[in-house]
Chains A and B, each alone.
Chain A
Amino acid sequence: MKNFNRIVTRELSVVFRSQSEFVYPLAFFIMVTSMFPLAVTPEPAQLAFIAPGVIWVAALLSLLLSLNAFYQSDFQDGSLEQMLLAGVSGSLIILAKAFANWIVTGLPLVLIAPIIGVLLNLELQANMIAMLALLIGTPSLCLIGAIGINLTVGLRNGGVLLTLLVLPLFIPILIFGASAVEAASIGKNYSGQLAILAAILILSLMLAPFAAAAAMKISID
């Protein structure tokens, strides 16, 4: 637990010193979602119809973008290797980094999502459910993304490869996340989708750190 706190505070302090990691994904999220009314239609009813999908796809992509900045420098300067040598368990490092990643990237997305929802003409309740679904879903994205980034971080052009590896694994979260918002917007019951998102979160909390830690060790060697 002490190690966990130390890693998290270290990550956060690094991030708040150089704010790009924090601002870029957020800006990306806002800009991508505002492209859709321009590309599809500004008609309010249609916007509300595509809004759940747009919000979720944009959230996936901006989280994917944030991963590289979050892990690469630690690989290159050897601080991950040092932590492992000092006897900190790999899965704990992953857990702490994924948590910090979520605080820095996932949480701002959750907080900004209602504004995007208003821009896309989502109703108040659907908007709140979108926020809730993102709150439950984005931590899983950070954890699964950690596996992908740790597999590709040592490679020369890992960026596109990361997308290729991770997006198929994001599909269940995308489906249930978007569907919860959609159900809420047409007044249907959405608790089932949220429960499944929570189950996925628990599962990824249990399994993803191990897989990502194994990947991290392979990349370091």
Chain B
Amino acid sequence: MWNWFFQLASPKWFYTIARKVTPWLSVLMYSLMLAGLVLGLIFSPADYQQGNTVRIMYIHIPAAYMSMMIYVIMAVAGAIGLVWRMKMAHIVSVSCASIGAMFTALALLTGAIWGKPTWGTYWVWDARLTSELILLFLYLGFMALHSAYDDKKAADKASAVLALVGVVNIPIIHFSVEWWNTLHQGATLSKLEKPSMDTSMLWPLLIMIVAFKLYFVVTLFHKIRGEILLREKQASWVKKLVADSKQ
């Protein structure tokens, strides 16, 4: 039963599998992305209050969702790497960071732009925006810490510890920011209400979420493959692979 677990731990096995499945996943990702965009931009109705700005939702919510999911994956992979001393887990954890940071930044930017027509201002210290900003700080800290170490092994372990500390803290930070926000809620700012969503809007949203997940997996696999090659440069299979690719 544990066989797959140990196979997963082998960089060579992971590299070959990732190479095989990536094209298929990419095709699926492109088609879902296209379907989601067409449904969201063209076929879904405008919101009765927000008008067409609601279409920003189809990229904003998936990006925000990915930013949190990736942090958890990063922390879990880091924990596996720490506990079972698994090389592959650290590679996964480290490769997650820049994708997660990008999604966080995108969620913040789209949220801010969305805020202008709905709230009348680019930035409000809304609980969700603020939490997202802090999440971006956590990602940047992770990346900065990892690049600060010269020794890769120490870098992996140190950033894994940081990711774990972060993941314990995120609920506390989120709770405190939410609490702080309700305390300081300005009277002029009416919060977005969340009515039960119409299926014509729900479908494009769900499709986009799945498409973003696939995008994450495909990009992550590319990154992981690059990282594996560098880290396993002394392995004979990498030498062979490099020699073969030259011809």
Contacts and interface: CB of A to CB of B under 8 A. Distances in A.
So, do A and B actually touch in the complex, CB under 8 Å?
yes
Interface in B165-221: 165-166, 168-169, 172-173, 175-177, 179-180, 183
Contact of B134 (A147, A168, A221): A168
Contacts of B183: 179
Contacts of B179: 175
A133 B137 CA distance: 26
A206 to B, nearest CB: 11
A90 B246 CA distance: 50
B145 A168 contact: no
Interface string B151-169: 0001001100110111011
Contact of A161 (B82, B148, B164): B148
A155 B161 CA distance: 16
Residue in B82, B164, B165 whose Cβ sees the most chain A Cβ within 10 Å: B165
Contacts of A218: 154, 157-158, 161
Nearest to B155: A218
Given A151-B158, A151-B161, A214 B82 contact: yes
B141 interface: yes
A165 B162 contact: yes
A176 to B, nearest CB: 6
Nearest to B175: A172
A196 B183 CA distance: 15
B145 A167 contact: no
A176 B176 contact: yes
Interface string B124-154: 0000000000100110110011001100001
B165 A179 contact: no
A151 B145 contact: yes
B165 A171 contact: no
Contacts of A152: 145, 148
Nearest to A165: B141
Contact of A169 (B140, B154, B169): B169
Contact of A164 (B134, B140, B180): B140
B100 to A, nearest CB: 15
Nearest to A221: B154
A171 B134 contact: yes
Contacts of A207: 168
A215 B158 contact: yes
B145 A171 contact: no
Contacts of B158: 151, 215, 218-219
A200 B148 contact: no
Contacts of A175: 176-177, 179-180
B154 A171 contact: no
Interface string A153-183: 0110110010011011101100110010000
A136 interface: no
Contacts of B149: 155
Interface of A: 147, 151-152, 154-155, 157-158, 161, 164-165, 167-169, 171-172, 175-176, 179, 196, 200, 203, 207, 211, 214-215, 218-219, 221
18 contacts: A151-B145, A151-B162, A152-B145, A155-B149, A161-B141, A161-B148, A164-B141, A168-B134, A168-B137, A168-B138, A168-B166, A168-B173, A169-B165, A169-B173, A172-B169, A172-B175, A200-B172, A218-B161
